[in-house]
Amino acid sequence: MIVGTASESGPRPRIGAATVDRVILHVDMDSFFASVEVRDDPALAGRPVIVGGSGRRGVVAACTYEARMFGVHSAMPSSVARRLCPDAVFLDGRFHRYVEESRRLHAILAAYTPLVEGISLDEAFLDVSGAVHLFGSGTSMGHEIRRRVREEMDLHCSVGVGRTKLMAKLASKAAKPKASRSGIEPGPGVVEVRAEEEFAFLHPLPVRALWGIGPVTEKRLLALGVTTVGELAAMTPESLERYLGTAAGRHLSELSRAIDDRPVVPEQEAKSIGHEETFSSDLWDPEDLQARLQRMVDASATALRRAERAARTVTVKLRFGDFTQITRSHTLDGPVDATPAIGAVAAALLESVDLSRGVRLLGVSLSGLGDPGAGTQLRLDLDPPAGDEEMPDAASRAAGQDGPDTVTAVRDASREAERLQQSWGSVTGAVDAIRERYGGTAVGPASLVTPEGIKVRERGEAQWGPSRPRATSGGADRPVREPDAPGG
């Protein structure tokens, strides 16, 4: 499942001296997915375990420290990991288990402050500035959280403590165990960077340790002879802005001087819900692609209803064999949550695309989320709505390439979607109830029926790229959060 969240872009309030008083924790589980697998299956203890896509284009999602001793790390192509560590146990992963464990983690964290910002399933910022009089210093809260995670979840985490998100994040990294050829060295578990220690801690680090410095920016900085954060801090903000652009230059200049006013934003609500699959070989057959798309629509619509939301915008995303990528989207007059209604729009969008380049990735996402009750679902007039001349947005985007037929097709689908939403609205609730009780494959739309039975992908299973090809399964779903806190 793809859960896009509100990002923190845009100008941030300058708080100035007020930030001195903030106490921020960054809690990060140690090799989370892999540790859950090892805990649930003691036979794996002490072995190199890699969770990720085992297929040709799979990547490592997580690995145990025993695997890291061989140089394996997350985001590495699985083929490379397999070469480095041929004896590793490869697991597809069980996303639903990680979601459950993440909820348990959040239940522990919520005991300390309501200001918890989840960054990913296994990582969160806490603003505990207002909690120190109740629970003691940030460091003692860090130790307490580690103890509870160990005792209640039988898992390990590391905690960073600082005055800013930047410091807390870098500190939790310093708190982690280290694995090298010579063995696994336990980390301190909790590291605090005090205000007066910030420069001494920050400035020797390589520039890539900073948020927002990816390989491209790093290369540019290296070309200028800048390798450490300290050297970055020595540059004037103006020259950095000149080299890297105004926004990036200013931001990095501030970070390098330990200025980071970004607040901890609790409860980021999902902005979109969706699924996407990367295929182990490019697909060409429109019928096959439509069937796969409808399965993703079904899974996404179910997640949408479970979240008690309805969507107005349906987006279909494709990446082709040559790596070019397009999206086609359409915004409806009113919110929909019925699978057939969403499916009708998605199908028309896919039909508008020329598939002759071969499809490497296919995805659908639902956005413009709101209350299912709001909007126009009570409209009984099934005739075209007034203002029908208006071009649907997907259609207008597609029109340049695909001509007026596409416009008509998407508009027809839009009308069909409204009709289906009305006729299916109450039925989908019953379908969800049956699935809840008897499992995902108990009932499904006719388009999902295949010779092997009804195919409903379990939410988030094998989402890190394709598993090794199997008789019945194609690809994988990948959870994506908009990158908010890279760099760790």
Residues serving a catalytic function are 123
> Which of the stretches 34-42, 122-130, 179-187, 312-320 binds Mg ion when contact is defined by CB under 5 A?
122-130
What is the nearest approach in angstroms of Mg ion to the Cβ of residue 105?
A: 11
What is the nearest approach in angstroms of Mg ion to the Cβ of residue 147?
A: 18
Decide whether 173 or 455 has the Cβ nearer to Mg ion.
173
Question: How far from 349 is each of 25, 313, 383, 423, CA to CA, in Å?
Answer: 44, 12, 22, 22
User: Among the residues of 71-214, which ranges form H helices?
Assistant: 78-84, 95-109, 132-135, 138-153, 165-174, 198-202
Place of tokens 């310093």: 174
CB-CB contact of 342 with 301 (8 Å) = yes
Q: At what angle do helices 32-40 and 95-109 cross, to 10 degrees?
A: 110
233: Cβ–Cβ under 8 A, 6 or more apart, which residues?
199, 203, 253, 256, 257
CB-CB contact of 58 with 64 (8 Å) = no
H or E stretch at 410: helix 393-438
What is the nearest approach in angstroms of Mg ion to the Cβ of residue 23?
A: 21
* Residue 234 dihedral angles phi and psi, to the nearest 5°: -80, -15
> Which of the stretches 114-122, 186-194, 363-371, 450-458 binds Mg ion when contact is defined by CB under 5 A?
114-122
Decide whether 61 or 448 has the Cβ nearer to Mg ion.
61
122 scored as a contact of Mg ion (CB under 5 A) = yes
Q: Which of 118, 120, 232, 166 is nearest to 12 (CA)?
A: 166
What is the nearest approach in angstroms of Mg ion to the Cβ of residue 172?
A: 9
Task: Please work out the total of residues on this chain that contact Mg ion, with binding judged by CB under 5 A.
Answer: 3
Both tokens of 19, joined, read 């930030």
Decide whether 25 or 29 has the Cβ nearer to Mg ion.
29
Beta bridge partners of 449: 454
Alpha carbon distance 128, 163 (integer Å): 10
Decide whether 2 or 29 has the Cβ nearer to Mg ion.
29
CB-CB contact of 437 with 421 (8 Å) = no
x/- mask, Mg ion, residues 18-57, rule CB under 5 A, reads ----------xx----------------------------
Alpha carbon distance 174, 187 (integer Å): 8
Decide whether 28 or 101 has the Cβ nearer to Mg ion.
28
CB-CB contact of 177 with 186 (8 Å) = yes
What is the nearest approach in angstroms of Mg ion to the Cβ of residue 255?
A: 21
Beta bridge partners of 5: 270
Decide whether 65 or 279 has the Cβ nearer to Mg ion.
65
What is the nearest approach in angstroms of Mg ion to the Cβ of residue 122?
A: 4
> Which of the stretches 116-124, 233-241, 282-290, 292-300 binds Mg ion when contact is defined by CB under 5 A?
116-124
What is the nearest approach in angstroms of Mg ion to the Cβ of residue 31?
A: 7
x/- mask, Mg ion, residues 230-249, rule CB under 5 A, reads --------------------
477 scored as a contact of Mg ion (CB under 5 A) = no
> Which of the stretches 117-125, 188-196, 217-225, 324-332 binds Mg ion when contact is defined by CB under 5 A?
117-125
108: Cβ–Cβ under 8 A, 6 or more apart, which residues?
145, 148, 149, 152, 153
Decide whether 156 or 397 has the Cβ nearer to Mg ion.
156
Decide whether 60 or 301 has the Cβ nearer to Mg ion.
60
What is the nearest approach in angstroms of Mg ion to the Cβ of residue 307?
A: 25
For 6-48, where are the E strands, in sequence order?
A: 24-29
Question: How far from 85 is each of 30, 82, 89, CA to CA, in Å?
Answer: 20, 5, 9
Alpha carbon distance 116, 190 (integer Å): 18
Binding site for Mg ion (CB under 5 A): 28-29, 122
